[in-house]
Amino acid sequence: MGYFDAASAAPLHPIARQALQASLDEGWADPARLYREGRRARVLLDAAREAAAEAVGCRPDELAFTASGTRAVHTGIAGALAGRRRAGRHLIVSAVEHSSVLHSAEVHEADGGTVTQVPVDRGGAVDPAAFGAALRGDTALACLQSANHEVGTEQPVAEVAEACRAAGVPLLVDAAQSLGWGPVDGGWSLLTASAHKWGGPPGVGLLVVRKGVRFAPQGPVDERESGRAPGFENIPAIVAAAASLRAVRAETAEEAPRLRELTERIRARVPELVPDVEVVGDPVRRLPGVVTFSCLYVDGEALLHELDREGFSVSSGSSCTSSTLTPSHVLRAMGVLSEGNVRVSLPPGTAEEDVERFLAVLPGTVAAVREKLGAPVASEVAREEDVLVVDSLGKRCPIPVIELAKVIGDVPVGGLVRVLSDDEAARLDIPAWCEMRNQEYAGEEPADKGTAYLIRRVS
């Protein structure tokens, strides 16, 4: 079986399993107690904190263990905003942050704060100058992920951190995807991470708050973890998380280049093997094991199911795999194709043969899904004066783009096709299709129902 979804959750590292089992007998007691069992638990907790702090590059008393990476993000943002309330209530985030960051921003905005989303380029990276320009006198906190969870693009954290430092604004870095590969460079102020991303057990997060950063924990006061993570510590899981972080770091020098070569192989060969594919994300500044591509005329959910039948577990940012039927906010912010999106994220130890088998299976799988979707029927195509109209109302991705592709040859060069659609994904996928097929996207206009997208044939 090919498990290719390590960006969601990496398989439990053997060292994590050993540490978890070994600490179950010693780490069950309350580490706040002074009797023998409590002291043993405290020794384990302190050792884990020191090991994790060394991997992060911070002081042990700056690091708290939380119940998850998401909880670390929520606690970190809320505490930093509250601690700097006198400075202002302006929050800056990038447009491609993890949903945990964006949800915190929504709560802050609903509570009367203001939020600025910094856009990204087509590769998914922010411009440090644009991020710096968003800083204001009332900015309380800025947030930037170290690497994107959907497309693998690494962000210019060091440059953004310098701009924030010059403005006197703390920077919170969500390092969930990258911490297993190495420490985060730059003068960041707060950092969050999640153990299950690097092969630790689920249910353990890290929250680092540098000394000197104003921070006011929110919610009921709790004496544990510097008041930043209420509740009894799960010491066996924490020990396993710290042990696995140290283990994967020791393997990075050998494993990172190997996985990078495998993902570069996928990036290069998928467009050769499958027609009408867009590989997304920065081609150079990227995580070693992540590669993402989108296939025209493919239903993302159907493609994932077919790949699962072939023994491959992958994920997708396509709207058709979401209960909301809206495309991934990351792909939308990048302005890239969202149809038939596939994220391959290889865990450490992935065999070369599994990657080759994936590449062998993928073309037939995509072709089968495209064939099942079929072609539009003639009654759905009409002419409105000199414009060819395609009625795709009520149809979800990728049908609107399929119907557009089927009729573009029916109009003369310079002629227009008007696609009617009420699927939010069409706003992203139709312009992406035009760019891929060298046609002109002429914009959108309101329609009686949904939206009309105008495409001019230029070739």
Q: Which H or E run contains 389?
A: strand 387-391
Answer yes or no: are the C-beta atoms of 77 and 192 closer than 8 Å: no
Burial 402-441 (b: 16+ CB within 10 A, else e): bbbbebbeebeeeebbbbbbebbbbbbbbbbbbeebebee
- Within 10 angstroms of residue 234's Cβ, the number of other Cβ atoms is 16
**Strand residues in 119-166 grouped as ranges (E):** 139-145
- Within 10 angstroms of residue 23's Cβ, the number of other Cβ atoms is 22
Answer yes or no: are the C-beta atoms of 237 and 196 closer than 8 Å: no
Q: Of the residues 58, 164, 295, 320, which is catalytic? A: 320
First-to-last C-alpha distance (Å) of the chain: 44
CA torsion through residues 428, 432, 434, 435, sign: positive
Answer yes or no: are the C-beta atoms of 174 and 141 closer than 8 Å: no
320 is catalytic: yes
- Which region holds residue 423: left if phi is over 0, alpha if psi is between -120 and 50, else beta? beta
With 0-12 / 13-18 / 19 or more C-beta atoms within 10 angstroms meaning exposed / middle / buried, residue 38 is: middle
Point out the residues that are catalytic: 320
